[in-house]
Amino acid sequence: MEKLHEAVDGPYVLQQRLLPTTERFLSEDGVTTEDMAVAYGTLMVDGTYAGTLARGVTDPAVGIVSMLRGAQIGCAFHVAGPAGEEADGQ
């Protein structure tokens, strides 16, 4: 605890690694499911929400969830309606 107090005003970041909670996804065969650890990201354009990026791996202990470590990737884009229209198109 002493070392922690000594580091308070220093250029340090204290982190604790937690394994992510897994979520169930449909497997590639389209029939069975598999648990995946997923890292979500937010896509922004000009300071406005534009979509979501998701990377998932079947091994939650992999560390950084990346395609180099076997992650599958997917995304969803959000497109606003033309200027002056409400989100539901009216």
65 confidence band (pLDDT: 50, 70, 90): confident
Domain range annotation of the chain: 19-77
pLDDT digits (tens, 9 = 90+) for 30-64: 999 999 998 889 999 999 999 999 998 988 888 88
Task: Please say whether the dihedral angle defined by the alpha carbons of residues 84, 86, 88 and 90, taken in this order, is positive or negative.
Answer: negative
Residues 46 and 37: their CA atoms lie apart, in Å, by 30
Q: Quote the tokens at residue 27.
A: 């497997």
| Entry pTM | 0.58
With a cut of 70, say whether residue 67 has pLDDT above it.
Answer: yes
